[in-house]
Amino acid sequence: MKDNRVYSVAIDGPAGAGKSTMAKCLARKLGFVYVDTGAIYRTVGYHMNLMGIGPRDKDGVERLLDDVNLKITYGDDGSQHMLLNGFDVTEEIRTPEMSKIASEISAQPAVREFLLDMQRDIARTHNVIMDGRDIGTVVLPQADVKIYLTASARIRAERRMKEQEAKGQKQSFEKVLQEIEARDHQDMTRAIAPLKQAKDAVLLDTSELNLEESVAAMEAIIAQRIPL
Ligand code: DC
């Protein structure tokens, strides 16, 4: 970095667009901290589920929010770990059920409010690449770089299926596609902080690009705006 200030890169986009894979890769390359904000919503959803509270139960969720003690830690390889009340739940939050719960619970204003400062605090003190749904629009409206990363629903479903297969979670293509489309709809139509491209975000559609090409395209966008 050529100066002493901190920089932030905001990456938003629908489920399965490759945000986390690419952001992780670039963060390592550029020496930035990678922040996966979806994991934070997943962890809140996981806690509520554990306590028998449904993600749409507004009163129940609000009542239990203060019991949620979240901590983000990083492994030697830069991988993000989520600690919930001292327990590492990094693996547990990565199931299709938790994807759905996280999407539903994230529509609750109290949950978004609860997590806002935590996300902003990290960006205040570190160079970050932060991915999510509302990073460029709400969490870091002053981000130095904003990228809206997307790909067609079918391509995203194919990629998600491969990812899940690698983890031994086999599902049919139709089921994965249907889950992705349902989540797109839920995330894009909620009343508060819906997923949308920020006015000043660069659109990157990776439907026709492989991982290497997508990372290179993203790096070029960042390099135009940050003195690396
Ligand atoms: O990125 P992900 O698939 O792990 O996110 C899970 C859900 O969390 C997503 O469907 C919507 C919600 N989310 C959000 O509302 N805002 C964010 N910044 C990140 C995720």
H or E element at residue 34: strand 33-36
- Cα(159)–Cα(175) distance, integer angstroms: 13
Q: What pLDDT shows up at residue 77?
A: 82
- The residue contributing the CA closest to ligand 1 atom 18 is 132
- Cα(122)–Cα(215) distance, integer angstroms: 23
7-53 per-position pLDDT tens digit: 999 999 999 999 999 999 999 999 999 999 999 999 999 999 999 99
Place of tokens 């439907």: 207
Å from CA of 102 to ligand 1 middle: 7
pLDDT greater than 80 at residue 3 = no
Mean pLDDT of the 172-188 span: 96
For the Cβ of 122 lying below 6 angstroms from any atom of ligand 1, the answer is no
For the Cβ of 106 lying below 6 angstroms from any atom of ligand 1, the answer is yes
- Encoding tokens for residue 71? 């901590």
pLDDT greater than 70 at residue 93 = yes
Decide if 185 contacts 107 (C-beta within 8 A). no
- Given strand 202-205, what is the order of strands in its sheet? 33-36, 128-132, 8-12, 145-150, 202-205
Q: What pLDDT shows up at residue 72?
A: 96
Q: What distances in angstroms separate CA 138 from CA 95, 128, 133, 224, one per listed residue?
A: 27, 16, 9, 23
For the Cβ of 136 lying below 6 angstroms from any atom of ligand 1, the answer is no
* Band (171; pLDDT cuts 50, 70, 90): confident
Q: What pLDDT shows up at residue 1?
A: 66
* Band (155; pLDDT cuts 50, 70, 90): very high
Q: What pLDDT shows up at residue 4?
A: 78
Å from CA of 100 to ligand 1 middle: 10
Å from CA of 2 to ligand 1 middle: 33
DSSP 179: H
Q: What pLDDT shows up at residue 2?
A: 61
